Amino acid sequence: MNATTGFVTQVGMAYEEAFEVAGDLGFDYVELMMDGATERQRLDPDAVRARADECGIDLAVHLPFALDIGTPFEHVRNGAVRELQAAVETASEFGATKGVVHASSNAWKPAWDAEVVGSNVVESVTTLDEFARERGFEICVENIPGGWFSIHDFDRIFEETDASMTLDTGHARMDGLESKGIAAFVGEYGGRISHFHLNDTRLEKDEHLPFGAGTIDFREIFGALPDGWDGTLSLEVFTLDYGYIETSKAYLDELL
């Protein structure tokens, strides 16, 4: 495996400090969450790029995830896609080359047919993927638990789009897959999985524990990846304490 490692910023983390910590701990990149205080209109791309260069790290992004790219309401859907495209442009300006997007919708399930919403999501993902590729940027679609495209439905994204995948391990666990099941999925689709959210958990919940503190067998999951896999591994730990990030990286480095 030739993976590179990073971590996802959390609400309350100043990106300037996060970049410094990442550089000091030997991470390859930071996955900057483009929401809240780091939403695209609140960022100065030149300043973000300069700080990343100063700290010796690369950048990925988590694109805004509350935007509804599958809604049956046309103008809302088109607006969500346009906003994500604008975020891709901003991310490209500050040097990021990969971004996570949620293949989800808040459409009211009792009222809307799953095929209508699913087709909308697929069409939006295709539009975003084509837009991003023109800019040398990679869209990585994330599995969302209990949504329109959980881990169990993701084969449609693979079949009907050319987009890469972000595999969130905790989300897969929430949808009923144990480590062996996640590893089997990776063994089947590893060529399309470009990015991981290493979300550790003890239960079928979105716990986002420090890496290694849960019960997911990451050694088995990594072992299912194709030889020479060179994707990205983001620790997604819900904490503002960088000590937990440091501990998580030490355990990840040991596994790698």
> Structurally, what CATH architecture does the domain formed by 63-236+248-255 represent?
Alpha-Beta Barrel (3.20)
Q: Phi/psi at 152 (nearest 5 deg)?
A: -75, -20
pLDDT at 103: 87
Residue partners of 47: CB distance under 8 A and separation at least 6 = none
Beta carbons of 197 and 8 less than 8 angstroms apart: yes
pLDDT at 183: 98
> With 90 as the cut, is the pLDDT of residue 221 above it?
yes
Beta bridge partners of 193: 165
pLDDT at 12: 96
Confidence of residue 215 (pLDDT cuts 50, 70, 90): very high
Which segments of 42-94 does DSSP mark as H helices, in order? 45-55, 74-93
> With 90 as the cut, is the pLDDT of residue 210 above it?
yes
* Burial class of residue 156 in the structure, from the number of CB atoms within 10 Å of its CB (0-12 exposed, 13-18 middle, 19+ buried): middle
Grouping H, G, I as helix, E, B as strand and the rest as coil, residue 17 is helix
> With 90 as the cut, is the pLDDT of residue 147 above it?
no
Residue ranges of domains in the chain: 63-236+248-255
Question: Is 0.85 surpassed by the pTM of this model?
Answer: yes
> With 90 as the cut, is the pLDDT of residue 211 above it?
yes
Q: What is the pLDDT of residues 45-104, one digit of tens each?
A: 999 999 999 999 999 999 998 999 999 999 999 999 999 999 999 999 999 999 999 988
> With 90 as the cut, is the pLDDT of residue 146 above it?
no
DSSP structural state of residue 143: P
